[in-house]
Amino acid sequence: MRPTCTARRSATSRSWRGARSATRESRWPPSPRSAKRRPWRRPTASGWSTRSCRGSSTRSKPCSPARSWSIRISAPTTGSPSSSPARGPTSSTTPRSGTGTSSGAGGSRPRSSRTSSRPSGSSVTADGRVIIWANTQSPYNFLREMAQALGLPQSRVRVIGLGVGGGFGSKLYPRLEPVAVALAMHAGGRPVKLTYTREEEFTACVTKHPAHITLKTGVKGDGTLVARQITAVFNTGGYADTGPLVSRNGAFSGTGPYRIPHVWVDSYAVYTHNPLGGAFRGYGVPQLTWAHETQMDMIAHRLGLDPVDLRLRNLFDRGDRTCTGEVLSESVGIKATLRQALAASARPLPPPTTARVVRGRGIATMHKLTYTPTTSTAVVKLNADGSVHLLSSSVELGQGAYTALAQIVAERLGIPLERVTMAAPDTDYTPYDQSTSGSRTVFHMGNALLRAAADVARQLCELAAPILDVPVDRLEVRDGGVGVQGEGALRKTFAEVIRGRYGARGASLQGHGTFTPPAALPPDLETGQSPKVSAFWMYASHVADVEVDTETGRVRVLRIVAAHDVGHAINPAGVEAQIEGGVVQGLGATLHEEMLVRDGVVTNPSLVEYKLPTTRDVPEIVPIIVEDPHGDGPYGAKGLGEPVLAASSPAIANAVFNATGVRITALPVTPERVYRALRAGARGRER
């Protein structure tokens, strides 16, 4: 069995180094700092790639070792972490007026499955031209990779998006499609349909990266954070896939939404002989959020501070700098989310019903970046009767994107929402969009559609100007027609303007819009720094109330308050539904979900053995919309979909500690794990 390997780029030198790590799940996690290192040379003539390697079957070249990312803001000073991160599960802080040191492992998150309602699948015909019907999150990713794999121009391949049935990252890239296309090419023009079974979804699809996170944090006696060192190790399985990007994304958010002047982050994606890790809702951020938020409560406990006060002292404000060096200039609503979540949780916990049950409350905050830089393009088609059809390759995953995007266009043109329809993605007709992922759709595609609608409005004014005998610059589009600025009454409806220019049969107008975030820059490969690493940042705070049965270890979540800064809520009902759904998914990840792996084989590959929350497990959920508009967003909006998953887990674990006094540092928070921690704590008190 060959040893697994990881490559890291050092923040102190320009050389690449390779490190051997564990090859079996039983030896996971590896210790990058203790691993024996040896020089690693970049392959030359073999065609290996050193950037963005993925293990998809559509790739014909071998991948280089998975990459890691190092981020450095400044060298550690007095009170900052030492050169070697601590491995223990607890924090120790000296509360005094000077600088103390808090050190401790943040903990681990296990491998988990997306368990989408509809497994991945596609239908293919190959009769002179390859046509793929797929439940994909990114039709243009499929188009590009399949055309490249087949050696065909993209004009010879067509991808039609179907109802996705839940994505969560698993349907961003071709998985089954190369096999389906190969079969179709030998089927004499007959269509071929290929769909994963539920068991294959567990064993063959990408999973959420298990991760082991170690944090060491320097803290003053008054609770001011002064330094943080993080080592994150993501188990990416046998292929790189998106592992390098997941480890990078986690690193960028790894310090939490806090002002910390001295930061060092090493984030590794390591190969192991285990199931493939890939894109999953949150893209590395939930793993880091679990670690830094449980440690924040450990720090507060050791210093004798209120966890709320500790966070409020250190949370971001406008003008603060992230660990990537970006200055936060707008839409920094993290403190507002915490205050509003606490206000909604002001009522005291009700007393438990029996003596064996204890209750507690916990909090957690988080922030996340979006997929940057990426581009979206769109077309707004105005029909002869004044109705509107939108052409976009954004995908409806169940998140309500089509409603929000239609609302943006309806608002710009001043027409009822009922007169706007949205086309399904089809690479023959709908223009390019990078993907429906990274909480980017409303911000990126919303801006593209807003620009396309503005283009339609400009054309209408130009057509109406000679008809109304009014200069173009005095006309405006509103309420489904064209009128003179400052005048209450409209002069012409859309249909009248089109007929007036093109005759009784009319015509259609098409507006085009493209959006790429301004000033977005990729990070420096040496330092991880960028003046604008993300088009926007998302913020959230969750408060969880739980009860714990001290005789069985069973945890029951009573209530979760989830406050999210969304910039501006285009569709408030949709935003609340997104929050509620994400909280339920986070609840499952916290209390139930874990893919069990033995010798690289999944041992619970079914919904009978892999436990998901049911409606009986869902607590009261209080969604709170916080609006701190973003200047570049459509009407101030920004993303939401991914952060809703991240903060629930540490909030629940912190509530368990508040109730019982035992700290859980690994997920899921199962009755067995809590029971053992309670018994270990009782034995410690007896001694």
Residues annotated as catalytic (active site), given as ranges: 642
Return the number of other C-beta atoms located less than 10 Å from residue 112's C-beta.
22
CA angle 523, 525, 530 (to 5 degrees): 20
Token couple for 120: 């991945």
b/e 229-253 (16+ beta carbons within 10 angstroms → b): bbbbbbbbbebbbbbbbbbbbbbbb
DSSP letter for 323, please: T
How far apart are the C-alpha atoms of 558 and 357, rounded to whole Å? 13
How far apart are the C-alpha atoms of 363 and 380, rounded to whole Å? 44
DSSP letter for 99, please: E
Cα dihedral across residues 392, 160, 174, 119: positive or negative: positive
Q: Are 90 and 105 in contact (CB under 8 A)?
A: no
First and final C-alpha spacing in the chain? 46
Closest CA to 314 of 287, 290, 334: 334
How far apart are the C-alpha atoms of 369 and 646, rounded to whole Å? 13
Q: Are 660 and 554 in contact (CB under 8 A)?
A: no
Helix (H/G/I), strand (E/B), else coil: 613: coil
Helix (H/G/I), strand (E/B), else coil: 513: strand
* DSSP letter string, 198-246: HHHHHHHS-EEPPEEEEEEEEEETTS-EEEEEEEEEEEEETS-TTHHHH
Q: Are 677 and 671 in contact (CB under 8 A)?
A: no
Measured in residues, the chain has a length of: 687
* DSSP letter string, 16-75: EEEEEE--SGGGPSP-TTTS-EEE-----TT--B-SS----TT--SPBPPPPEEEEESS-
How far apart are the C-alpha atoms of 275 and 488, rounded to whole Å? 64
Helix (H/G/I), strand (E/B), else coil: 589: helix
How far apart are the C-alpha atoms of 109 and 593, rounded to whole Å? 10
Query: In Å, how far are 35, 174, 218, 282, 623 from 19, measured between CA atoms?
Result: 6, 30, 28, 27, 45
Query: Residue 592 carries which side chain, given as an amino acid letter?
Result: H
E strand map for 276-356: 277-278
Q: Residue 523, preceding bond cis, omega within 30 degrees?
A: no
How far apart are the C-alpha atoms of 313 and 647, rounded to whole Å? 19
How far apart are the C-alpha atoms of 604 and 596, rounded to whole Å? 6
CB within 8 Å of 321: residues ≥ 6 apart: 73, 259, 327, 328
